[in-house]
Structure 1
Amino acid sequence: MKILIPFYSMYGHTYQMAEAVAQGAEEIDEAEVNLRRIPETISEDVLAESGALEAQEEFSNIPECTLNDLEEADAIIFGTPTRYGNMAGQMRQFLDTTGGLWQKGAFIGKVGSVFVSTATQHGGQESTILNFHTTLLHLGMVIVGLPYSFEGQMRLDEVTGGSPYGATTIAGGDGTREPSNNELEAARFQGKHVAEVTAQLVK
């Protein structure tokens, strides 16, 4: 059972969440879990000016995602930062190359799930996942979210990401906030939950 976690991360927040998702999925014995980077589309000069190039060095050793990776996976858990309430352009551009796989029905019946990062608490955490779900439905995927059995999404004692749609983190306006323990626990829960559901479907 192959669990693929393709993520785009500019400053590392989505990458940290992706690692937690992978940790959760790996708790299921039969799961083979792979992290993959979504290809960058911004020039190195622009990335360097914004400080992102240095941040991305932390996960530059992770292989870039390929169409073959998508086709071979039984479940795909996508991670993206939010851009104006939707997925990052890098993720959109990559998904726009999957027409051949869509045409032959390669995604039909696979499990699909999404986790995201935003700058602020109300910066599109839910809309980004819901908008992403539209693409997954067009591909024919079976959508799995973050059920309320993860009680951390009910917390009121701290500012935290997370909703029934998927795990989320808040990076802060200047990007200095790191994912909280609760947000990382949500990501681990989602990874394990997706792997459990997938195990039932591939039997």
Structure 2
Amino acid sequence: MARVLVLYYSSYGHTAQLADAVAQGAREAGAQCDVRRVPETAPADVARQAGFRVADHHEEIAGIEPLRDYDAIVVGCPTRYGRMASQMAAYWDQTGALWASDALVGKVGAAFTSTASQHGGQETTLLSILTNLLHMGMTVVGLDYGYKGQMGVDEVKGGAPYGATTVAGSDGSRQPGEADLAGARHLGERVARTALKLAG
């Protein structure tokens, strides 16, 4: 059985919803899946003024060393000016010992994100996450076009070949739609199935 970690940071809950959907897809594909979050690094007054929903997240904080124990790691965070949020970047900046020992080489990696608008940096944020995973020697899985729910322009929806996404709206009021959540589940399933094949 493949072990999958869904590792996320979420300010307002949108990325957390995608994390749960990714985990659901991985479990439905037969993987054991843990969901962990990275610590909040913004000062408390900044988080409060911005309305961050820190208290809503009850998953355990992820350690660095336990990354060695997973066959696949799916990383998600919101965009910050078209790139990975600093909270997630700070976490990966602590993984030098894992990089130096090739601890994650050959494991499966994937990414997901949330942005305020459809053109708010979804693809660049996904690529900034995937860059870290590639430096670690991981085998990257994207949200392939086998998932047709990301196609079309009939509604606002997320999705990119680089990973699962959602659009939160400038005020955060838009919640992930079914197309977005189904894309995240599809990504989780693909990651789990790929990890199982590589382990076999």
TM-score by length of 1: 0.95
> How many residues are matched?
199
TM-score by length of 2: 0.97
CA distance in 2, matches of 1:96, 1:189: 29
| Secondary structure of 1:65's aligned partner | coil
Runs of 4+ in 1 over 3 A off after TM superposition: none
150, 166, 174: which is aligned to 1:169?
Answer: 166
How far apart are residue 6 of structure 1 and its match? 0.6
| Secondary structure of 1:26's aligned partner | helix
73, 86, 107: which is aligned to 1:110?
Answer: 107
Q: Does 1:32 align with 2:29?
A: no
176, 179, 203: which is aligned to 2:176?
Answer: 179
**TM-align CA RMSD:** 0.9
CA distance in 2, matches of 1:57, 1:22: 21
Q: Does 1:92 align with 2:92?
A: no
How far apart are residue 77 of structure 1 and its match? 0.2
**Structure 1 match to 2:13:** 12
How far apart are residue 134 of structure 1 and its match? 1.6
How far apart are residue 155 of structure 1 and its match? 2.1
Q: Does 1:2 align with 2:42?
A: no
**Structure 2 match to 1:138:** 135
**Structure 2 match to 1:42:** 42
**Structure 1 match to 2:199:** 202
| Secondary structure of 2:28's aligned partner | coil
How far apart are residue 69 of structure 1 and its match? 2.4
How far apart are residue 161 of structure 1 and its match? 0.7
How far apart are residue 84 of structure 1 and its match? 1.0
In structure 1, list runs of 5 or more residues that go unmatched.
Answer: none
How far apart are residue 81 of structure 1 and its match? 0.3
| Secondary structure of 1:35's aligned partner | strand
Deviates more, 1:43-52 or 1:162-171: 43-52
**Structure 2 match to 1:57:** 55
How far apart are residue 91 of structure 1 and its match? 0.6
In structure 2, list runs of 5 or more residues that go unmatched.
Answer: none
Structure 2 contact 75–129 (Cα < 8 Å) conserved: no
CA distance in 2, matches of 1:143, 1:39: 24
How far apart are residue 101 of structure 1 and its match? 0.6
How far apart are residue 25 of structure 1 and its match? 0.5
